[in-house]
Amino acid sequence: MPSVHLVSDEEAPPVPAAPAATSSWMGWGYLAAGAVLVAVIGTWLVWFSASIQRQFQQEDIRASCQRVMPETAERCYDTVVIQRGGVRR
């Protein structure tokens, strides 16, 4: 087992201090990276909620058309979607 040598503060080599400008730039970098991450997550959440809402609306239209016109439900669905400004398939 190697011997242990205690080093006092007087024997320790001086550690160069980091300049203040470097830490300031690191702070701005972390802030920018955080802002980009928040923007990406927020954009994805908006897209996901719009997708879910569109899916529920399509299911409601299909159910209504099936209830009102069961023999021509697909034609009814196409007509309603086109009238609302959507694109069919």
Q: What is the pLDDT of residue 86?
A: 73
For the chain, 89 residues long, give each residue's pLDDT as a single digit of tens: 567 777 666 666 777 766 655 677 888 899 999 999 999 999 999 999 999 999 999 999 999 999 998 899 999 999 998 888 876 55
Give 3's contacts (C-beta < 8 A, 6+ positions apart).
none
pTM score over 0.85: no
Number of H-type helices and E-type strands within the chain: 2, 0
Q: What are phi and psi of 73, to 5 degrees?
A: -65, -40
